[in-house]
Structure 1
Amino acid sequence: MQPELDKLVAALEEFYAQERFLLEKDAGERALTHRLAVYLERQYPTWQIDCDYNRLGERTLLLPHGTIISTDDTLGKSIYPDIVVHQREVPENLLAIEVRKASNHQSLAHDQHKLKALTDPHLWFAYWFGVLLILARRNVMASEVYVGGEIDRALTAWLAGRLKDQGLGAS
């Protein structure tokens, strides 16, 4: 998993080096996720990278019954991960990313719940892993790594250390 996370770190390095304008102007989350996706494409050349992608083959991604409901659609049931690294037609799902701006003071619970569901191996759309990124203007303020439907504390600590080593993590 660490080699795949290293690719994410490399994409974040390029993102922070190239997107100062968007970060300084406090651009919206969708603008930031789009630009991050561009840099992820360079790191994952054999995978497809999509923003707000709610499909698995012909099916729509839906949270299991009885879970927190998304308000992303009219039925309030489908989910739209901010960025996914996957194969659209196979389907094979590598990485789901939820991005938050540091200035967003809403609860993280919804994004965390989505990543738990997206990485749950008992669900048909399971991603190998998921990452929550909280982006500040100059660095990644916080991050969490999800594997098997739960936060992976060891990988979360490893990613935080890697980001700090690259000058991208919070001090």
Structure 2
Amino acid sequence: MQAELNKVVAALRDLYAQETFLFDMDVGERAITHRFAVYLEKQFPGWAVDCNYDRLGERTLLLPHGTIISTDDHLSKSIYPDVVVHQREIPRNLLAVEIRKASNHTSLEHDQHKLKAMTDPDVWFAYWMGVLLVLAKHNVTMSEIYIGGVVDRPLTLWFAARLDEVGLGGGH
């Protein structure tokens, strides 16, 4: 798991090094998410990296009814992870990432519930790992790692320490 998370750190390092214009101009989360996916794709050869991907093999991605995440509206962004690393045809789901800008002051609860559901092996064909990232202009202000439908505290602390080591940590 640490090897995969090191790849996320490398993609974040590249994002911050190459995309200062986006952060300086305070562009929207979708633009930043897309650029992050470009750098993440370079870290995972042999895997597909997609933004807002809504499929599990041939099925449309739906999270369970009765949860905070709605499945009633196919157009709702709530059923689309920001970035995924996977193999589309199998499906083999490695990593789901939710990205927030630090300037977005709405509750993190929605993204946290999404990652819990997307990594829960009892819900559906789950992602092996989920990552929540809150990005500020110069660093990652908050992060959480999800395994098996819950926040993995040891990995979350390890990831925060790795971000600190490369100069991207802060506020953990």
Aligned residues: 171
CA distance in 1, matches of 2:71, 2:126: 21
CA distance in 2, matches of 1:77, 1:170: 28
Cα distance, 1:72 vs structure 2: 9.7
After TM superposition, the score normalised by the length of structure 2 is 0.95
Cα distance, 1:78 vs structure 2: 6.1
1:166 paired with 2:166, answer yes
Matches within 5 A, 1:1-171: 1-70=1-70, 73=73, 76=76, 79-170=79-170
Amino acid at match of 2:38: V
Instruction: Please state whether the residue corresponding to 1:64 is helix, strand or coil.
Output: coil
Unpaired stretches in structure 2, ≥5 consecutive residues = none
Q: Report sequence identity in percent.
A: 70
After TM superposition, the score normalised by the length of structure 1 is 0.95
CA distance in 2, matches of 1:53, 1:131: 16
8 Å CA contact 1:163–1:169 kept in 2: the answer is yes
CA distance in 1, matches of 2:78, 2:8: 26
1:24/1:157 CA distance change after superposition, 3 Å: same
Structure 1: 4+ residue segments shifted above 6 A: none
CA distance in 2, matches of 1:43, 1:75: 30
Cα distance, 1:59 vs structure 2: 0.7
CA distance in 2, matches of 1:160, 1:48: 26
CA deviation map 1:98-130 (0-9, x unaligned): 000000000000000000000001122300000
Instruction: Please state whether the residue corresponding to 2:49 is helix, strand or coil.
Output: strand
CA distance in 2, matches of 1:87, 1:169: 30
8 Å CA contact 1:95–1:129 kept in 2: the answer is yes
